[in-house]
Chain A
Amino acid sequence: MRSLLIRSIIKSPVTIDGPAADEHAVKELVAKLDNAARRVLGRSLSIREVDAGSCNGCELEIHALNNPVYDLERFGLRFVASPRHADVLLVTGPVTKNMRVALERTWNATPDPKWVVALGDCACSGGVFAGSYACAGAVSEVVPVDLTIPGCPPRPIEILKGLLTLIDAASRTGAAKGAGR
């Protein structure tokens, strides 16, 4: 174990550079958020992941964000165990009807101000499961969505880009008071 640790210290890091935030999406988000929300959130976000019916492909790539290559926490982003500790709900899946109530309750348990990110094609639009008797469809059918990250599943680097867009929007000031909800 000692040699493994020492080599890890000496070698250059495996962590890759973070992507730039999506400028267009940042502007859109800034318009949505009010200053109060931005002050609270600053450049650090706690994320609660909610699988609302995904095939687990998106979860695998969300997991990858925590590995040393993407190292999510260096950006001030971290996953938390309870919605009560979260600023952001990161929701995947075509919201199955059997998960609808659980998603609503999780949203209600998340303190304001909060954001919802729909991750993956299913969460964005219902994806290939749209129209099923067992699915409610896009996450926006159930709770208000602030940002979408499409893909099946999106690559970790694309998820990272989407999340960085969020903190970028949160740290900018001077925009008109947001639309609120």
Chain B
Amino acid sequence: MAEPRRKTTIQGSPRRHIDAKAWIERSAALGRGEGELMALFADTDCVHMVVRAAGDKELEQLTVAVEGGRYPSVGNRHAPAIRLERAIRDLFGYEPDGLGDVRPWLDHGAWERAAPLSGGKRAAVKQKDYAFLPVEGEGLHQIPVGPVHAGIIEPGHFRFTANGEAVVRLEQRLGYVHKGIEGLMAGATLDRATTLVGRVSGDSTVAYAYAFAHAIEAALEIEPPARAVHIRALMAEIERLANHLGDFGAICNDASFVLIHAHCGILREEVLAAADFCFGHRMMRDCIVPGGLTVDLSKDGATRIRALVEELAPRFRELVALYDGTPSLLDRTVTTGVVAPELARRFAPGGYVGRAAGRNFDVRRDLAYAPYDTLSFKVPIYHAGDVDARLRVRIDEIEASLSLILQILDSLPRSKIEAVIAPANEAREGMALVEGFRGDVLVWVRLAVDGTIARCHPRDPSWFQWPLLEAAVENNIVADFPLCNKSFNCSYSGHDL
């Protein structure tokens, strides 16, 4: 494989090859708390790791060769890598040397061939029943839930072990909505890949298209027009606003406080209707493309969004006051589902899961991309790590988004909205990180000489949040699981890919 030109990404230094010894040392350092693991994924005959040193303005990209189908495990030194390595084994067949957990993760034995991204034709191996971790003790019972749940949510399996009402252990089994997106990406044209990336996780369609566009633009050294840069951020804030409003209501609903849910539903609906009016799609899907945008914001659209912000803000604040003034509701959310700060430090979860447990990180501020470097906003940090803290991060971020939307409209430049995308006629690479409503969305791409996608890895923030939900639920009552789960609101589709 010809080595692609390693373009410096928007947020990272060029990728470096290191040998197995250095890879093991870096993994051990991660395990000691030196730096955060941001992504771990395979490419042909190699494995890439993206690391962020605390306080650093850049991401580090490291690569180790896969030799004889093996590479040194990161997961046996740094636990957050375990599921990522199980996924690499399922998709590429590369064996993480030293990883204790030999169970498959995404491969449920339903595909026609094993290691579908390896390019080979390995026959699928008949799988035994999934071996959940053993739990022993007197008076324990198990509750299996899913993949089809009682509510209107995505499928996944939760195995609860409970002692009376208290959860002793929750073990997740995911992968049910694995669609093979990375497989479909390989060889795809830029247009097709843009369509696919916007459907990795529907609630974050803007964030994914945004990160993908940045990665392609970094690879091809293209500057999108200033107006497009601003409108992209506008869409991202509208997406954040809509999702956080939905979550605010849904969390209260899971604590049986339906009134806030009903009103948040109305507010969310108004946001989506405004997005539909401005951009022709309620979720603003397929609006951001590499090079710019497919749709401009009209004068009427800008007026509509201003009116939305003005009407929504006081009604939203009234609901916050209602939340704050309802002790029976706070009784359900405060001290429920606690993520220990130490776990948040180790797993480096993005978004409200991290920021509610003291992880002071927001891509928009710490690895800033235009136009956020010129906008003013506060990043809320809480330390309790409970359902209440995750809700309060969202509440503060709704306020920040309302302010950001007005700032963007005030500074909206006039220009065209799309730059010409010219193929580079050589292999290229690009990577970008964008702050979605759920946390940091990372997209890594390698382009072939003809400009098609050779490899694309979209990494959902949920990868580093799901394992913490297992920890947060421990010692809570089974009946509080929906509340804890909703306060995380992890993506199944983004994780399963």
With A57-B205, A132-B183, A132-B184 as contacts: A81 and B151 at CB distance below 8 Å: yes
Is B492 an interface residue when CB atoms closer than 8 A count as contact?
A: yes
CA A67 – CA B262 in complex, angstroms? 6
Interface size on A, residues (CB 8 A): 49
Our pick among B110, B266, B492 for the contact of A14 (Cβ within 8 Å) is B266
User: Contacts of B201 on A, CB cut-off 8 Å?
Assistant: 55-56
A133 near B110 (CB under 8 angstroms)? no
Is A69 an interface residue when CB atoms closer than 8 A count as contact?
A: yes
CA A51 – CA B149 in complex, angstroms? 9
User: Contacts of B496 on A, CB cut-off 8 Å?
Assistant: 96, 98
**Residue interface mask B323-358, A partner, CB < 8 A = 1:** 001100000000000000000000000000000000
CA A5 – CA B259 in complex, angstroms? 9
User: Contacts of A54 on B, CB cut-off 8 Å?
Assistant: 154, 177, 202, 493
In A108-143, the 8 Å CB interface with B consists of 127-129, 131-135
CA A128 – CA B184 in complex, angstroms? 9
A102 near B148 (CB under 8 angstroms)? yes
In B159-216, the 8 Å CB interface with A consists of 175-181, 183-184, 192, 195-196, 199-203, 205
User: Contacts of B493 on A, CB cut-off 8 Å?
Assistant: 53-56
Among A19-27, A29-37, A58-66, A170-178, the stretch in contact with B: A58-66
Distance in Å from the Cβ of A73 to the closest Cβ of chain B?
A: 13
User: Contacts of B199 on A, CB cut-off 8 Å?
Assistant: 55, 57, 127-129, 152
With A5-B259, A56-B203, A67-B268 as contacts: A132 and B180 at CB distance below 8 Å: yes
Distance in Å from the Cβ of B157 to the closest Cβ of chain A?
A: 9
User: Contacts of A63 on B, CB cut-off 8 Å?
Assistant: 152, 246
A1 near B326 (CB under 8 angstroms)? yes
Is A150 an interface residue when CB atoms closer than 8 A count as contact?
A: no
Our pick among B153, B181, B184, B283 for the contact of A57 (Cβ within 8 Å) is B283
Our pick among A5, A53, A133, A152 for the contact of B285 (Cβ within 8 Å) is A152
User: Contacts of B178 on A, CB cut-off 8 Å?
Assistant: 96, 98, 134
A55 near B282 (CB under 8 angstroms)? no
Is B318 an interface residue when CB atoms closer than 8 A count as contact?
A: yes
A94 near B179 (CB under 8 angstroms)? yes
Is A38 an interface residue when CB atoms closer than 8 A count as contact?
A: no
The winner among B175, B180, B195, B203 for most chain A CB atoms within 10 A is B180
User: Contacts of B183 on A, CB cut-off 8 Å?
Assistant: 132-134
CA A93 – CA B493 in complex, angstroms? 10
User: Contacts of B147 on A, CB cut-off 8 Å?
Assistant: 99, 102
Is B263 an interface residue when CB atoms closer than 8 A count as contact?
A: yes
Distance in Å from the Cβ of A88 to the closest Cβ of chain B?
A: 13
A129 near B203 (CB under 8 angstroms)? no
User: Contacts of B266 on A, CB cut-off 8 Å?
Assistant: 14, 67-69
Is B491 an interface residue when CB atoms closer than 8 A count as contact?
A: yes
A102 near B262 (CB under 8 angstroms)? no
Is A87 an interface residue when CB atoms closer than 8 A count as contact?
A: no
State the total of A-B contacts with C-beta under 8 angstroms: 145
User: Contacts of A4 on B, CB cut-off 8 Å?
Assistant: 259, 263, 318, 322
B265 near A69 (CB under 8 angstroms)? yes
The chain A residue sitting closest to B184, CB to CB, is A132
Among B52-60, B111-119, B220-228, the stretch in contact with A: B111-119
With A68-B266, A133-B112 as contacts: A51 and B322 at CB distance below 8 Å: no
Is B269 an interface residue when CB atoms closer than 8 A count as contact?
A: yes
The chain B residue sitting closest to A100, CB to CB, is B110
The chain B residue sitting closest to A1, CB to CB, is B322
B203 near A96 (CB under 8 angstroms)? no
B150 near A82 (CB under 8 angstroms)? yes
Our pick among B148, B200, B265, B325 for the contact of A68 (Cβ within 8 Å) is B265
Is B155 an interface residue when CB atoms closer than 8 A count as contact?
A: yes
User: Contacts of A134 on B, CB cut-off 8 Å?
Assistant: 111, 116, 178-180, 183
CA A155 – CA B269 in complex, angstroms? 11
Is A49 an interface residue when CB atoms closer than 8 A count as contact?
A: yes
The chain A residue sitting closest to B270, CB to CB, is A69
With A4-B322, A63-B152, A67-B266 as contacts: A57 and B179 at CB distance below 8 Å: no
Is B108 an interface residue when CB atoms closer than 8 A count as contact?
A: yes
Distance in Å from the Cβ of A129 to the closest Cβ of chain B?
A: 5
Distance in Å from the Cβ of A142 to the closest Cβ of chain B?
A: 12
Provide a sorted-by-A list of 25 A–B residue pairs whose CB atoms are within 8 angstroms.
A1-B322, A1-B326, A51-B177, A52-B155, A53-B493, A55-B199, A56-B492, A59-B153, A59-B154, A63-B152, A63-B246, A64-B268, A67-B265, A67-B268, A69-B269, A97-B110, A98-B106, A98-B110, A99-B155, A132-B181, A133-B112, A133-B183, A134-B180, A134-B183, A155-B282
| B positions within 8 Å CB-CB of A | 106, 108, 110-113, 116, 147-148, 150-155, 175-181, 183-184, 192, 195-196, 199-203, 205, 246, 259, 262-263, 265-266, 268-269, 272, 276, 282-283, 285, 318, 322, 325-326, 491-493, 496
A69-B265, A128-B196 given; 10 more Cβ-contact pairs under 8 Å:
A54-B493, A55-B201, A63-B152, A64-B265, A68-B266, A96-B179, A106-B148, A131-B184, A132-B179, A133-B111
Q: Which 9 A-B pairs rank lowest in CB-CB distance, beginning with the nearest?
A: A57-B202, A67-B265, A134-B180, A81-B150, A132-B180, A97-B110, A55-B202, A56-B202, A55-B199
